[in-house]
Structures are given as structure tokens and as C-alpha cells.
Amino acid sequence: MRVEPAGEAQPQTISEPTRWSPELGLGTAASNATYVVGALTVGGLLDLGPTSTYYVGPIGFVTPVCADDPVVDVVGVDRKLFDAANAAKARTHFCWGRPGSLAGVSNEPQVPCLGLAEGLCCVFPSPVLGFSPCFLGAFLYNTLRSKHKNMEFPPWAGAALVMTDKGVIGRRYFRPDSGISAISWGGFDVDRNVRIRSYDTCRCTSEGEPKSMTSDPIFNDWDPLVCGLYFGLLVPCCRYTCIQPNEPDLYRATIFSKHTTKGFIPTGSIDLLALARSPVDLRSSLRVFKEKYLDSLPTTTVAHDFGAGRLGISTFRSDTGRAEVVAEHNLHAVAESYGMQVGDTILELDGQSVDYDAFHAGMNAARRQKRTVRLLIARGG
């Protein structure tokens, strides 16, 4: 099966033939492959374990990940970049600890006091705090007791990110024992929900810069490869990154779901590091298969008469450029009352294909004229 790269991304040439092994999936030699074995399935690449894993969609868990789900693309870990990440972690280990792990977030048990200091030492690392008993104890513990240990090259390195016809599958944390997390194609936005952190950017970050989940936040408590000094009055307002990886092609990517738990924790999240595919190519691949997914969705027609009132739904510009129904406050129930659901994408208005701008222009015109509109929507999920 041939995987078609996006228009702006050029396929990479492979000098070795594609090989597959149970230990490394498609193998690091095939991490940049433009050809994927047509009969390859999720069960042939990943050990799904005894418990069921579900794809996270716009409204929560939607469908289970099955061993026979067909694979459309695979991205593996580059060994050279992986070694560079381990080398960077060795330089920041005095602050972060957690030997044998490159994960930004860890559920590993910590010594209470030292665990707190370990989490805070990169938040306000001033000379005063650095020599305080709490922080100094954490530094000494990480340096002398819990010494740095390289993360072993994981058995799932050849299939760090698996793309199926239903969504994407990867590890929630970048560590050997992490469980599997899956997000449906409708459950994340390629532009809004894919955060890429490159290590060759400016070392200075200020609080005044635009912040979002797609940008590098001023606090770097999610990335153990980075250590910086914070400056400010009472609260930090800027940061200077003192230690970060030196490998120019190394980056960390996080794919997180639109759906959240407790209002702010992504229900689904995939942590990726040292991928053998550039950030541009990664986004392009995701966008290509997101478009194919959208084309495969069932469609339905919804009619609304503006003479009887407004169409009370909220939409945003999705990664496909079209209008997508989004939940805000009580709009989830409102959308359902109009025959729509969160994640639906508007394809046509009165028989005409529309993007986000054309959709809103047409809806405003229909509202002024108080006439009936017919919307062709793709049922998201």
C-alpha cells in the first residue's frame, strides 16, 4: 500500500529495503518509508495488552483499538536522535531525576519531599533556592543516589506512532513501560492539538508571547531535556534556557485530544521524541490521512429555517479549513437539538462546497434574508 505524502512534503529516499520484525515493527531503517506493507495490522506492530484501549473522539472514548485495524502509516524512532536525547537528559538529570526515562510527565513514585523539589527545581532555580535545603537535597539525591541512567531503546521504537484508518496510536509517556494511547482522526486537530517543541529555537521566552498548547509554554515542567532560569517579581515572567539538546533535528511532539478530563487534562495524549521524520513531514502525513478520514465519513443533510430563529451552534476553523462544530458551555445539547453533534464538519451549504469563511458568509446572508438553509455535514467521531 502506497502512503501518499502531502503536497508540500517530498518523499524521502531509502537506501535499504523495508523490513519488518516483531521487535521493531517496520524497523528504524524503514522509519521514513513511503511504502507500507498492505496487510500490516495494529496487532502485527503493537502488543495491545490484556486490557482494551479505546480511541478518544470529540466526545470521549468512541471505539476500541482492534488488532486487525489496518495500518496506513508508521513513524519510527531514529537511533542517532534517541542517543542525543539520552545525552541531553544526562546533563539535566541533576534537576529532573527519573533515571531510565525520557518522559515529560511521570507517574513513578517519588520520595515526597525530594519529589516536590524535583518538580519545582526548574520553576524558580535562583541561587538562593538552589542552595536551600530542599532543592540542594534534591540535586544531591539525583546526582549521588538516583544517578542518571540512559533509557533503553524501546521494543516499540519502530512503531512509535501508528496511523490507522480510525486514528493515531502511540505511547502516552515516552518511557519503556508506558501504556498505549489512541486518538481518533476526529478527536484531534492537526493545527491545534499537535504541539511540536524544537530545540534549535530562541533560548529566551517571555510571558507576553502568545501561549497555547501548540506553543512552548514558559514553564518547561513537561520536558526533562530542558533546564532554564526564570526571572520575575513574585511570579516568573521570562525564562532563559540554559541546557537543551544540541542535535538540530531532534524535537518532541505531543498529540493530545480535543476531549478533556476535569476540564483541562487531555483524555488522550501521545508523547513522541526523536522521530525519524521531520516536523513538517509529520504534520503533512497527519493532514493527508485526516483528509482521507473526512472523505470516508457518512454524510447527512440538516435543514434550518432562519425565519424561526437562529441556528445556535458554534464552529471553529478545523485543520481541513472547514467549519467544525465545537462544544462550548451548553452548546453540546444545542447542537444535538439541530441534528448535529460535536465533531461534525460542514461540507456544503445549499449544494455548494464551503470552507469556514464561505460557510459563515452564507449563514449570515441567510440569517438576514430569514430563509431556510440546507447543510451537508460529515458525521464526526
Residue among 77, 30, 12, 80 at smallest CA distance from 247: 80
Residue among 235, 195, 193, 234 at smallest CA distance from 217: 195
Looking at the domain assignment, is residue 327 inside a domain? yes
pLDDT band at 127 (very low <50, low <70, confident <90, very high): very low
Looking at the domain assignment, is residue 237 inside a domain? no
**Averaged pLDDT for residues 306-335:** 72
- The string of DSSP letters for 48-79 reads --SS--EEEETTEEEEE--TTPBEEEEE-B-H
CATH for 339: 2.30.42.10
Q: What does the alpha-carbon distance between residue 373 and residue 375 come to, in Å, rounded to a whole number?
A: 7
Q: What does the alpha-carbon distance between residue 117 and residue 13 come to, in Å, rounded to a whole number?
A: 47
Looking at the domain assignment, is residue 234 inside a domain? no
pLDDT band at 36 (very low <50, low <70, confident <90, very high): very low
What nine digits make up the cell of 21? 520484525
Half-sphere exposure of 260 (CA within 13 A, CB side): 8
Looking at the domain assignment, is residue 256 inside a domain? no
The model scores a pTM over 0.85: no
Looking at the domain assignment, is residue 368 inside a domain? yes
pLDDT band at 83 (very low <50, low <70, confident <90, very high): very high
Structural domain boundaries, residue 323? 297-378
> What rounded mean pLDDT belongs to the chain?
74
- What is the tally of structural domains in the chain? 1
Q: What does the alpha-carbon distance between residue 280 and residue 97 come to, in Å, rounded to a whole number?
A: 32
The percent of residues above 90 in pLDDT, for the chain, comes to: 25
| Cβ-contact 76, 276 below 8 angstroms | yes
Rounded (5°) CA angle 97-99-101:
105
Looking at the domain assignment, is residue 356 inside a domain? yes
